[in-house]
Structure 1
Amino acid sequence: MKTEAEIRKLIAEGESLTLEFKSDRNRLPDRELIAALVGLANTDGGALLLGVEDDGDVTGLHQAHRELSGLSALVANRTIPALGVTAESVLIDGTPVGVIDVPKSRQLVATSEGLLQRRRLMANGTPESIPFLPHEFIQRQSSLGLVDPSAAPVVELDVKQLSALERERIREAIRLYGGDQSLLALDDPELDGALGLTTRHEGVYCPTVAGLLLLGKEAELRRHLPAHEVAFQVLHGTDVRVNEFFRKPLLQTFKEIESLFLARVEEQEVDIGLFRVPVPNYDRRGFREAFVNSLVHRDYSRLGAVHVRLDDDGMTISSPGGFVEGVTLENLLTTAPRSRNPLLADIVKRIGLAERTGRGIDRIFEGMLRYGRALPDYSMSNAVTVSVQLTNADADIEFLKMILTHEEKAGGALPVDSLIILSSLREGRRMACTELAGAVQKPEGAVRSVLERLMESGVVDAHGTGRGRTYTLSAKVYRHAGQKAAYVRQSGFDRIQQEQMVLSYINAHGSIRRAEVADLCRISPFQSTRLLKKLSDEGSIVAKGQGKGTYYERG
């Protein structure tokens, strides 16, 4: 059962892909209600609030809809396959509102009249329901992991029409990138079968979609996979320096794009200990993983090119098709590897072009973080595009020295969790375990274990105890970087100093809030609460107001 407060919060957030308002002042027809529920189920599920206007005004349920106990049966009987929803009535200031929860369907759902709908966001950000078109069926099933589009047979093509040159390119890639060496001993038909480049359909061998992408000639690719296109662009301000488009087989496309990219990689060498270490403006391995991901995981049923764009801010790689089912910005680093095109992903791994473990995302993060650059930015991704931006900001040489020194002592490369934590402390200066857990996308217990190892190695210091414990880069790290004073600022002041700072702030400004204490003393919100309580108990300050509006004055 949802509470009135929860429904008010939903209404205040407004309509979205997962929330729809429907007026019931004139009794919403069953046909329109069922269609709206189908649209939610065919998108991401969510809730429909019956008795709420588009602007969020609560007008209530029509008399005919005051009893919602039979609504679930009505919806199941009027949808194919039967859609299971739950419905309840919630009073908002005494006005009844119907709350209908709709699960995300793992198969396409239509009304009994054959109406198939989904929801989308318009250009102004507001949602709308639109027809679910036939060519979008495969996109939906693919995103749910129900079908593998890359394994589908291309029955119009004969295997004899495939390119022998591209097959040799596959063998060359296996040798170059350390792929599955057992494939090199196979003849052409055996290689095609082992990789899944061809399949038997009605007694005749024909290429799969993956086989066409890797072995197809350009004319056949244009004809049978018109969505396959890759663009490489170089911009300087608003000037377009390079704007190349490719519709060639995947390996050939990869080689040509890689050559264009490598021509723009610049390196500076820095002395670290006894060695000179190259520091590139772009990490080669990170680029390779990001670009290969864009080719392998894109939606080949959706028109639009894979874009590789270099500009003044860095490099952006984007591909058509949003994240596959179960992958979000919040679990990108930890979710199990999955692909929209499993066969194509497996082929690329066996060739050696992509990370065999399926954790190529770690390579992308590592390629940015070890040089002291910002995290890869996926925030511009949406339901129809995955986009990652890799900044070309100057490397932090002192941070790189710290990483290399630590790896030399540890006898191995730092895992990506440690790199994220060290990078976060470099940027955030002083952080609690809960904040670091959000950055790493793992439970606090796992993050504490990583922090303990970093503390043992001398690169992280802990401050405080219990829930209020925070972490900074160690005094040794700041000392080697020539920033001794910075460590003192970040490690904070003792309790007596903090109390005097709070009292001085109130004397100067009249009052102080908890957030201002945290900022002033460089402590966590929890620690600032404890500090204010101590001063209140002593009578030095007095709390005024309530809740989030609480502030403190001299006692």
Structure 2
Amino acid sequence: MKMTRVKVIPEHESLTVEFKSDLKKLADSEIVDTVVALSNTDGGSLFLGIEDDGTVTGVHERHSDSTQLAAFLANNTVPPVSARVASLTLDANGTSSDAGMSVIEVEVPRSTAIVSSASGKIMRRRLKADGSPESVALYPYEIITRLSTIGQLDYSSFPVPDSTINDFDPVEIQRLRNILMRNKGADQSLLELSDEELFSALRMTTSVNGAPTPTVTGILLAGKPDIIHRAAPTHEATFQVLAGTEVRLNQDFDQPLLYTIEKMGDMFEAWNPEREFEDGLFRTPAPEFDRRALREALVNAFGHRDYSAMGRVRVLIDDEGLTISNPGGFVEGINIRNLLTAEPRGRNECLMGALKRVGLAERTGRGIDRIYEGSLAFGRPLPDYSGSTSTTVQVFISRTAPDPLFMKMISEEAARTGSPLSLLSLLVLNALKSQRRLSAQELIAQLPFSEAKARSAIGNLIEAGLIEAWGQGNSRAYALSKSVYARKGKEIEYSRQADIDKLRHEELILQLAKQHGGSITTRDVEQLLRMKHKQAYRKIAKLVKEGKLVLVGSGRAASYRLP
């Protein structure tokens, strides 16, 4: 039998993969610079002895000792990079071969600090216009971005040089107090403070040489225009509305954040039409986009953006839906897969702390939950963060008609229990609503929570009568309950889901007979389907009646074989 040879190196270079030719003995400094660049970006692998096109040409004997190279890299990086160095033997195409050439792979971890070479060079990785990677210098202004991304620095807490509390706009200070009075979730004790005490409590000022000095947070929230442009020139935002290719609205904002967030919220209302659905004697409003989710997404964009990088917060409403994007990728440890489960972390803790206390942001730090609930509560598709990159966070909320029957199910369950359904429960119901029927493994795999939490939520929904389970063990599957389908007027779909088990059980029994040499017993079926003796016997008897199995013997010695 011919064995398939597998290529053990990547097909091409990328942000996390670098090939280096070593035919003429690559300079040690270039190896160090590449390791530094990888460590300061996303980590990755450096392959010595491979050309840029992926052709294996072999490593120079000077770099062939993996232990010596690992020690060299640790001694020539600050702080030391603990790279894992391994020796590979590959043919020219990159597949493993005992008769091939020697190649060195250097696995570089992503650093939790700024790494430099021993000579002081600080490098990073980036993609060129053609998509190929390169290692370039990390400039001083980019260091702030890197440190804030890995949680080592909070730019929003910096004091603004040559500024005083007179640089706060009195109109914006009054706006701040009005917001505190309006928002039920705000820290009402702040209203009792004097202006200077309020600034200190919200960390809008910090003490410098004994004098209260505005921080970047303070200037962003309530600074006068000239000081904002000097201290935070990257604070700008844009609100756009498109109908097809026609621009219906395109407004730029360069005012303080409190003003911008308030005005954008008002503008949303004009482009967020509302429908009403009958719910018994009542009419339930359903806006195009959930208002609470919109506010959280907007505040997150301003609160978590990278103010040390050029760019602006962009809000776009078009035919497909709503898109909100901001400069600055996810902070270290946060990604699309763990958004709902990772511990709340921010790039600008000082700024987000102020926005939480004034009631504009979720006090628990779980604003992302509100964004998801805003879609799930109306039976709409989940928010989409797939457009995010290493330098931008982008959320897309689809413009989709709500599902009134799904809404009614959720509201009735909340009324019955006296509390709203949890986010995890909503995710379970949404998965079964969109995919009809899922095995236990399939359902749990789609939920961004631990298996224990997922099974607990599934159990609670079964007890509540919202979902049903069929089968046992590995064959167990879930779907929305009969009462849910009846409420939606789709009893036929429910019957179709229930009948799937009957057909699948027959297939499993016949398949087991084939695996057992063409013959099985009732006991075999009991163990296979984890059911009682009488249930197993009835299923076998049905197959015998249909001529799919033949009875052999009687009593305890009875068995059933394939015809």
Deviation at 1:420, TM superposition (A): 0.9
1:453 aligns with 2:460: yes
**What does residue 476 of structure 1 align with?**
483
Deviation at 1:453, TM superposition (A): 0.5
Deviation at 1:202, TM superposition (A): 2.6
- 5+ residue gaps, structure 2, are 91-96, 520-561
**What does residue 125 of structure 2 align with?**
119
**What does residue 8 of structure 1 align with?**
7
Maintained 8 Å contact 2:471/2:501: no
Deviation at 1:108, TM superposition (A): 1.4
Change (3 A) 1:51 1:240: same
Deviation at 1:210, TM superposition (A): 0.1
Match of 1:138 among 134, 144, 169: 144
**What does residue 411 of structure 1 align with?**
418
Match of 1:252 among 255, 259, 262: 259
The 5-angstrom pairing of residues 57-206 of structure 1 reads 57-92=55-90, 93-94=97-98, 95-178=101-184, 179-206=186-213
Change (3 A) 1:533 1:114: farther
Q: Deviations over 1:34-57 (max 9, x none)?
A: 111010111121221222222222
For the residues of structure 1 that align with 2:138 and 2:276, how far apart are their CA atoms? 55
**What does residue 269 of structure 1 align with?**
276
Q: Deviations over 1:154-196 (max 9, x none)?
A: 0121211211221111111111112111111111111111111
Deviation at 1:346, TM superposition (A): 0.5
Maintained 8 Å contact 1:40/1:46: yes
Q: Deviations over 1:66-119 (max 9, x none)?
A: 222211221122223332222121223133221212121222112223321101
Q: Single out whichever of 98-107 and 35-44 deviates more from structure 2.
A: 98-107
Amino acid at match of 2:181: R
For the residues of structure 2 that align with 1:18 and 1:358, how far apart are their CA atoms? 31
Amino acid at match of 2:245: T
Q: Single out whichever of 476-485 and 382-391 deviates more from structure 2.
A: 476-485
Match of 1:319 among 326, 349, 365: 326
**What does residue 537 of structure 2 align with?**
none
Amino acid at match of 1:336: E
For the residues of structure 1 that align with 2:214 and 2:335, how far apart are their CA atoms? 33
Maintained 8 Å contact 2:466/2:480: yes
**What does residue 32 of structure 1 align with?**
30
Deviation at 1:535, TM superposition (A): 4.5
Q: Deviations over 1:243-284 (max 9, x none)?
A: 000010111001110111011121121111332111111100
Change (3 A) 1:6 1:476: farther
Maintained 8 Å contact 2:205/2:215: yes
Deviation at 1:437, TM superposition (A): 2.9
For the residues of structure 2 that align with 1:265 and 1:40, how far apart are their CA atoms? 44
Maintained 8 Å contact 1:434/1:444: no
Report SS of the residue matched to 1:69.
Answer: helix
**What does residue 17 of structure 2 align with?**
19
Change (3 A) 1:200 1:494: closer
Deviation at 1:10, TM superposition (A): 4.2
**What does residue 298 of structure 2 align with?**
291
For the residues of structure 2 that align with 1:123 and 1:170, how far apart are their CA atoms? 44
1:465 aligns with 2:465: no
**What does residue 436 of structure 1 align with?**
443
**What does residue 558 of structure 2 align with?**
none
For the residues of structure 1 that align with 2:254 and 2:512, how far apart are their CA atoms? 66
Change (3 A) 1:215 1:34: same
Deviation at 1:407, TM superposition (A): 1.3
1:282 aligns with 2:289: yes
For the residues of structure 1 that align with 2:134 and 2:516, how far apart are their CA atoms? 55
1:44 aligns with 2:51: no
For the residues of structure 1 that align with 2:510 and 2:454, how far apart are their CA atoms? 26
Match of 2:54 among 39, 52, 56: 56
Amino acid at match of 2:279: I
1:487 aligns with 2:485: no
TM-score by length of 1: 0.88
TM-score by length of 2: 0.86
How many equivalent pairs are there? 509
For the residues of structure 2 that align with 1:358 and 1:232, how far apart are their CA atoms? 25
For the residues of structure 2 that align with 1:480 and 1:38, how far apart are their CA atoms? 61
Deviation at 1:9, TM superposition (A): 4.3
For the residues of structure 2 that align with 1:59 and 1:476, how far apart are their CA atoms? 67
Change (3 A) 1:417 1:154: same
Q: Deviations over 1:358-391 (max 9, x none)?
A: 1111111111011110000000001010000011
Amino acid at match of 1:297: H
Q: Which runs of 4+ in 1 moved over 6 A?
A: none
User: Which protein is bigger by CA-based radius of gyration?
Assistant: 2
